[in-house]
Amino acid sequence: MYDAKVRGKNRYSICTSDMREDMQRRMVLTNSLLRALERDELRVFYQPQIDTATRGIVGYEALLRWENPDLGLLPPGMFIPLAEQTGLIRPIGEWVLRTACRQNRLWIDRGLPPRRMSVNLSVEQLRDRHLSDQIRSVLSETGMDARLLQLEITETAAIQADEPVVQMLSEIKKLGISISLDDFGVDYSSLSRLRELPIDHIKIDMRFVRGIEAGSKDEAIARTIIQLARNLGLQVLAEGVEHMHQYRFFARERCDEIQGFLFYKPMPPAQLEALL
């Protein structure tokens, strides 16, 4: 039924053995994801974000990984959609937030310079009425400075955000937390939403970054997003910078920040700490 719906509804689909296997795989994964939290199999990796002008680290993005005993280290793309469908994203999201805040506080306590910590929020978390209370208690529990916390919401989530969600975001912002619009430019980017949403920061999606070369359309789009952010008084970051010519482009266009494999990959906290 879902297969028929995904293919445009009002049609039928024949269940194949491939589909059955896929379903079984998802069921097994859902069951073990349920226990991953309890068994302490989730990990947070951190990827530095760079000031384009100075090349100094301005912050880190917390990125979830699952150390699955059978399948190895799994990237979030393989299990976050499942977690969202099953409601598991709420406890998992809270765990990521607490872990990242605790880590940030720990680094500061060890004498490292205070830097921003960005945590991804799923649209399911935004729909949770208790989210701002949850964030408040994580902040007080971990001793994290709210001004160092940034929450990333995807453009898709932002477009879906109804009035209660916008209000919740404003409430969160009042705590001193900044809000970033992730994967900007991918979906249909609603300019009126940009005006209404309480955001501080935009992340240009890596799809545009990949196509950066002289005279390309992606270059024109990236340039336009940077200009748009500047005119709205927002900070702007380019995501997925892998090559020097891409970095040079964003430096020339005075994009505030960049993040990408050219400088750093996401890494476990101990590795980042050694590097810092």
Q: Which residues bind ligand C2E (CB under 6 A)?
A: 47, 63-64, 75-77, 80, 93, 96, 120-122, 152, 182-183, 239-242, 259-261, 266
Cβ proximity to ligand C2E, 17 vs 262, nearer residue: 262
Cβ proximity to ligand C2E, 32 vs 156, nearer residue: 156
Residue 33, CA distances (Å) to 6, 121, 155 in order: 25, 18, 26
Q: Is 152 in the site for Mg ion (CB under 5 A)?
A: yes
Q: Which does 88 bind (CB under 5 to 8 A by kind): ligand C2E, Mg ion, none?
A: none
Cβ proximity to Mg ion, 59 vs 269, nearer residue: 59
Q: In angstroms, rounded to a whole number, what is the distance separating the alpha carbons of residues 190 and 155?
A: 9
Stretch that binds Mg ion, among 1-9, 134-142, 182-190, 266-274 (CB under 5 A): 182-190
Comparing every residue's Cβ against ligand C2E, the nearest one is 260
- Enumerate residues 6+ apart whose C-beta is below 8 A from 205: 183, 184, 185, 186, 239, 240
Q: In angstroms, rounded to a whole number, what is the distance separating the alpha carbons of residues 81 and 122?
A: 10
Q: Is 235 in the site for Mg ion (CB under 5 A)?
A: no
From first CA to last CA, the distance across the chain in angstroms is: 51
Residue of 59, 91, 63 whose CA lies nearest to 76: 63
- Tell me the closest approach of the beta carbon of residue 272 to ligand C2E, in angstroms: 14
- Tell me the closest approach of the beta carbon of residue 100 to ligand C2E, in angstroms: 8
- Tell me the closest approach of the beta carbon of residue 259 to ligand C2E, in angstroms: 6
Backbone angles phi and psi of 150, in degrees to 5:
-125, 135
Q: In angstroms, rounded to a whole number, what is the distance separating the alpha carbons of residues 258 and 70?
A: 35
Site string for Mg ion, 86-125 (x = CB under 5 A): ----------------------------------x-----
Cβ proximity to ligand C2E, 43 vs 193, nearer residue: 43
Site string for Mg ion, 190-229 (x = CB under 5 A): ----------------------------------------
Name the burial class of residue 6, with classes exposed (0-12), middle (13-18) and buried (19+) by CB atoms within 10 angstroms of its CB. exposed
How big is the chain, counted in residues?
276
- The residue behind tokens 């060890």 is 110
**Which DSSP category does 60 fall into?**
E
Cβ proximity to ligand C2E, 3 vs 218, nearer residue: 218
Choose which of 128, 182, 253, 257 interacts with Mg ion (CB under 5 A): 182
